[in-house]
Structure 1
Amino acid sequence: MQIACPTCDKRLQIADEKLPTDRKVRITCPACQENFTYNPDGTALLSVVPRTETPPQPESAPSEPTTNQPTADPVETPPAKSAALPVPTLNLDVLEAGPPPRVLVCVDDAAQRRDYDEILATLGFSTVHIMEEQVQAMTYLTQVAYDVVILDAKFDGSTLEANPVLACVSEIPMEQRRRMYVAVCADEKYTYDAIGAYSQGVNLFFSYTDGREALRTLEHGMADHKRLYRIYWDVCQELGKE
């Protein structure tokens, strides 16, 4: 898709699958460095970072000069703050975020991060993105095509019932979601609960107590996932839909 910068009219070529279909996204033009918002319905490109200016004061009718009257300094009214939630900035550099296969890791524990970074590389992943906060994770998740997502249910203060990153996963288009294997680390009662995983829209639940052994289970789960969809992708390719 080509998107024109409303400031300098530069044409930006962005793949359709990189743009979210259910929310606005902020784009930084690489030519003029101005920010603007892309509306997913394609009807408007609106500036989202207006320049701060003092609102024009209405002109008053001239009056007769008076004497012995106190004068007051004019008071500038600050611009009203927008009540809208901020949208993730679409950084064009992020779109070229390493070769596939890619994995997104959202965990808080530093030791677990090191384990994932080390072991995932041995499993053949070319790119491992380790996130530090929810907004960063959602920004990457909506802009980069991942093969695997590993998410701690308690990542960045969230819970399994109220997890913004997990909600973001559920909004990914199904064509892309079928190519993604999502594993969630949760309390032990959820461990390897296939029905529970299905109800949450993920592929695997594993426990905090599994440690490094969970990655062995993850490896088997990814292999099963590929086998499950192999025939589906072959048929799509034969029908010209791949």
Structure 2
Amino acid sequence: MDIICTFCSTKLAIQDGKIPKNADFRVTCPRCQTKFRVSTKTDQARARGASGVLRSWFAPPSAAPPPPPEPEEPMEEFDSSAIKDEGLASSPEEDEFVEDRKLGLVCIDSAPQRATVKAALDELGYTVHIALTPEDAIQRIRANRYEVLIIHEEYGGSAERNRVLLTVQPMTMPLRRHMCVGLIGREFRTFDNMLAFLKSVNFVVAERELPKIKGIARQAVTENDQFYRVFRDSLRDAGKI
């Protein structure tokens, strides 16, 4: 049986003989450690309540009040050692050919922080890619044009040797002006423009303020667009574009 992690899109293979039959169970993704629900129940089994009585989806309306919701059945925790990681279900090469969408890339090692940033970018209308290794992130950056890129300073294990940041920093203006890069740090002060300049990013975010990342990212992207709109208008007026 093949399943896809609902968070990082990793394809996971489970031997059929080890899958619980006609049951709901919880799987932990070996890549991102996200827990998500998997069901092998038939449609008929899903329609049954705790009493074992098959509910009719087409029962006529009744004046009687609806019964209280039945308690959720406990789910078995699936043994993750039986799961084979088969890589990302969506590869950077496949992503390259999807058009008409705003792309965001998240490069954060901490699963809870990653989830917070992804949820915020989702709400802002981005199609979010999750890079779980620096190599994956660099490959994706080369294959796609991201409008927003959020990196933790310690992504990959070291603030001094952050390979993704070292890849982005020397990018030329024609590439960087389409990308708004945010850097998260433990000791940062959000929107410290001098630090952002020194780090060659568009904005910096204090790790403690990640719950506010939606508004922070929205403001940073808006300011970046406004700045480069003036820049593009100046080039156009000078006849250079």
Question: What is aligned with 2:203?
Answer: 204
Query: Structure 1 regions of 5+ residues with no counterpart?
Result: 1-89
Report Cα offsets for 1:121-154 as digits up to 9, x if no partner.
22122x2111101100011112211111100111
105 and 92 in structure 1: CA distance in 2 versus 1, 3 angstrom threshold: closer
Question: What is aligned with 1:30?
Answer: none
Aligned mates of 1:94, 1:225 — CA distance in 2: 25
Question: What is aligned with 1:121?
Answer: 122
Question: What is aligned with 1:168?
Answer: 167
Contact map agreement 1:188 1:209 (CA 8 A) in 2: no
Question: Aligned runs of 1:47-196 on 2, under 5 Å?
Answer: 92-97=93-98, 99-125=100-126, 127-159=127-159, 161-196=160-195
Report Cα offsets for 1:61-119 as digits up to 9, x if no partner.
xxxxxxxxxxxxxxxxxxxxxxxxxxxxx964342255431111001122222222222
Query: Structure 2 regions of 5+ residues with no counterpart?
Result: 1-90
Aligned mates of 2:174, 2:151 — CA distance in 1: 21
Percent same amino acid at aligned positions?
A: 27
Aligned mates of 2:151, 2:211 — CA distance in 1: 15
Contact map agreement 1:97 1:144 (CA 8 A) in 2: no
Contact map agreement 2:93 2:143 (CA 8 A) in 1: no
Aligned mates of 1:178, 1:211 — CA distance in 2: 24
Read off the aligned partner of 2:123 and give its amino acid letter.
T
Aligned mates of 1:114, 1:187 — CA distance in 2: 17
SS state at 2:104 partner: strand
Contact map agreement 2:196 2:202 (CA 8 A) in 1: yes
Any runs of at least 4 consecutive aligned residues in structure 1 with deviations exceeding 6 A, and if so which? none
Contact map agreement 2:188 2:207 (CA 8 A) in 1: no
Contact map agreement 1:153 1:184 (CA 8 A) in 2: yes
Higher relative contact order (CA 8 A, sep 6+): 2
Question: What is aligned with 1:32?
Answer: none
Larger radius of gyration: 1
RMSD: 2.2
SS state at 1:137 partner: helix
Aligned mates of 1:181, 1:119 — CA distance in 2: 15
Read off the aligned partner of 2:147 and give its amino acid letter.
D
Contact map agreement 1:188 1:206 (CA 8 A) in 2: no
Aligned mates of 1:211, 1:192 — CA distance in 2: 13
TM-score, normalised by the number of residues in structure 1 = 0.56
TM-score, normalised by the number of residues in structure 2 = 0.57
Contact map agreement 2:153 2:162 (CA 8 A) in 1: yes
Aligned mates of 2:225, 2:207 — CA distance in 1: 25
Superposition deviation, residue 237 in structure 1 = 4.6
